[in-house]
C-alpha cells in the first residue's frame, strides 16, 4: 500500500496563470475526493469521483476549476486564470464506497498565487 500521492508538493504561480495538480489514489479505492484547506480552517469538499465519473461538485468549485479522472485511475485538478484567493492547500483523498470507510489523504499540494 503506497498511499495517496500528490504532485507537486508546492506550486508558486503568478495571478492569471493556469496550474494543474495530480493525484494518484490507493489503487483498490474507487472513490476519489478533492478538498481545499485554507489557514486555520478544516478541509472543504470540492468534488468527488466514483471510478471515472465526477458525481458531485461543490459550489466552491467555480467555473475556473476543472477536475478529471480518466479511466478511473489518477485524477487532475486544473485551475485556470488563478487568483490570489485560490492560494490554499489542495488535498486529495480516496476511499472504498462503504459508509464506514475513512478517507485516506495525500500530503497535499500547497498553492501560492502571487
Partner 1 sequence: AQKITQTQPGMFVQEKEAVTLDCTYDTSDPSYGLFWYKQPSSGEMIFLIYQGSYDQQNATEGRYSLNFQKARKSANLVISASQLGDSAMYFCAMRDNSNSGYALNFGKGTSLLVTP
Footprint of partner 1 (CB under 8 A): 31, 33, 40-45, 48, 50, 55-56, 89, 91, 93, 95, 97-108, 110
Taking the CA atoms of residue 36, residue 1, residue 50 and residue 11 in that order, the dihedral angle to the nearest 10 degrees is 30
Tell me the C-alpha distance between 77 and 34, whole Å.
Answer: 8
- For the bound state, the minimum distance from the C-beta of residue 81 to partner 1, rounded and expressed in Å, comes to 26
- For the bound state, the minimum distance from the C-beta of residue 6 to partner 1, rounded and expressed in Å, comes to 10
Question: Residues 6 or more apart from 58 whose CB is under 8 A from it?
Answer: 44, 45, 46, 47
- For the bound state, the minimum distance from the C-beta of residue 60 to partner 1, rounded and expressed in Å, comes to 12
Question: Closer CB to partner 1, residue 33 or residue 82?
Answer: 33
Amino acid at each position: 500500500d503506497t498511499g495517496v500521492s500528490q504532485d507537486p508538493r508546492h506550486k508558486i504561480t503568478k495571478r492569471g496563470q493556469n496550474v494543474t495538480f495530480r493525484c494518484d489514489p490507493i489503487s483498490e479505492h474507487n472513490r476519489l475526493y478533492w478538498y481545499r484547506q485554507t489557514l486555520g480552517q478544516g478541509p472543504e469538499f470540492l468534488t468527488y469521483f466514483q471510478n471515472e465519473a465526477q458525481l458531485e461538485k461543490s459550489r466552491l468549485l467555480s467555473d475556473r476549476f476543472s477536475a478529471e479522472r480518466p479511466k478511473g485511475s489518477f485524477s487532475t485538478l486544473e485551475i485556470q486564470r488563478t487568483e490570489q484567493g485560490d492560494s490554499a492547500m489542495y488535498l486529495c483523498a480516496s476511499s472504498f464506497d462503504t459508509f464506514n470507510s475513512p478517507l485516506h489523504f495525500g500530503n497535499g499540494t500547497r498553492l501560492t498565487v502571487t
